[in-house]
Structure 1
Amino acid sequence: MNTALKHIVALSALALAAQAQAAPYQTIVPAKSSVTFSYKQMGVAMDGRFKKIAAQLHFDPAKAEQAKASFEVDLTSVDTGSGEADEEVVTKSWFNTAAFPKAQFVAKQIKPTAANQYEVQGTLSIKGMTREVKFPMKHSAQGKDGLLTGGFTLKRADYSIGEGMWAKFDVVANDIQVNFSITATLGK
């Protein structure tokens, strides 16, 4: 094979590889994805998770500014590690899942801050209240999948999570750390 032909073959292979990587992530893998939370109750660290999440996603790490993403968390799928606490947290005083069964995050802007690192800005809606949030996110390729991880602290009072006798922060702290680990697959 002559040198010019080798260069053409090499360039063609690079172009095909670039096209394969250019497909955006469009589907999450629920079994490999999680939304967890941690907080302090009477000074003791506690944590939990939500078992059901869904998303609409169009994220190309190389074109983050063009990304579109929205996530829904089924608040009735809460798992605090205690059946009694799970029953309490879905009541009107806490999540009020009878009226507001889902929390929703909608990304408004995703911008790169370093290699495979991004700043995400968007809105988080819980119990009919919507607030702006901003947090860091990391991306790591895992074969044809991508892992998106990040987290932020929310103030439960901003969403009226814990009303009435729970409105004070002496039993359950106001700061709730929310973390996510989302496995997404490439679109076609």
Structure 2
Amino acid sequence: MRSTLIAAALAATAFVASAHAEVASYSIDPSHTFVTFEVSHFGTSTNRGRFDKKEGSIQLDKVAKTGTVALTLETGSINTGTAAFDKHLQSDNFFNSAVFPAAKFVANSVSFNHDKVSEVAGQLTLLGQTHPVVLKASNFNCYTNPMLKREVCGGDFETTLQRSQWGMGWGINLGIPDTVKLAVQVEAVKQ
């Protein structure tokens, strides 16, 4: 009887452990992932841009409702649609791409609302400084991609930053706002 109880307890422990060990790895699909920013231009219009070169990975355990994210942006790949503006943003007035060629977001906290990711909390490293950032999800879904025949997960995430927190203060005294809206549209393919 005692050995039966021990065997049942071990089986239950193994079942619980396997239920919490369903970590899936995903690689960010750069053709369906865009990191964009918006900042007011002297209160008259909105300047927008994006980073064309990015890479990263996501780990999700949908059963345990945990995950991690690693996203790297090449700051020299900033694209506003205007070459002169791109060069200004790449200069030491803003992203200083020659010295800091990458911005990195690393998150070890992925929150779920039922079966959907609701926010991702992590650290953004920009201009050599690292500060916490929380990205709120406005959309999240997983589906089987009909062309790849693999699961793809992703969504729309956004936050608002104070760029001066990372030492990017150029133009604030001229009326260019410190507040920047950051939007991340991401899709990642299960590996």
TM-score of the superposition, structure 1-length normalised? 0.79
Give ranges in structure 2 of 5+ residues lacking alignment: 1-18, 145-150
| SS across alignment from 2:173 | coil
1:154 to 151, 161, 165: 161
Pairing 1:2-81 to 2, within 5 Å after superposition: 24-43=24-43, 44-65=45-66, 67-81=67-81
Map Cα deviations across residues 90-109 of structure 1 (whole Å, 9 max, x no partner).
11111111111111001021
Map Cα deviations across residues 152-184 of structure 1 (whole Å, 9 max, x no partner).
011111112243xx24261x2111111111111
CA distance in structure 1 between the aligned counterparts of 2:104 and 2:60, rounded to whole angstroms: 18
| SS across alignment from 1:63 | coil
Deviation at 1:114, TM superposition (A): 4.0
| SS across alignment from 1:95 | coil
Give 1 or 2: higher helix fraction: 1
Partner residue, 1:183? 187
Q: Is the 8 A contact 1:61 1:139 kept in 2?
A: no
TM-score of the superposition, structure 2-length normalised? 0.78
Between 104-113 and 22-31, the greater mean CA deviation after superposition: 22-31
| SS across alignment from 1:85 | helix
CA distance in structure 2 between the aligned counterparts of 1:151 and 1:56, rounded to whole angstroms: 18
Q: Does 1:142 pair with 2:143?
A: yes
CA distance in structure 2 between the aligned counterparts of 1:132 and 1:85, rounded to whole angstroms: 28
Partner residue, 1:116? 116
Map Cα deviations across residues 123-154 of structure 1 (whole Å, 9 max, x no partner).
01100111111122242123221123201011
Over the aligned positions, Cα root-mean-square deviation in angstroms equals: 1.9
Amino acid at match of 1:154: L
Q: Is the 8 A contact 1:23 1:186 kept in 2?
A: no
Partner residue, 2:173? 168
How many residues matched? Answer: 163
Q: Runs of 4 or more off by more than 6 Å in structure 1? A: none
Give ranges in structure 1 of 5+ residues lacking alignment: 1-18
Q: Is the 8 A contact 1:25 1:60 kept in 2?
A: no
CA distance in structure 1 between the aligned counterparts of 2:174 and 2:165, rounded to whole angstroms: 13
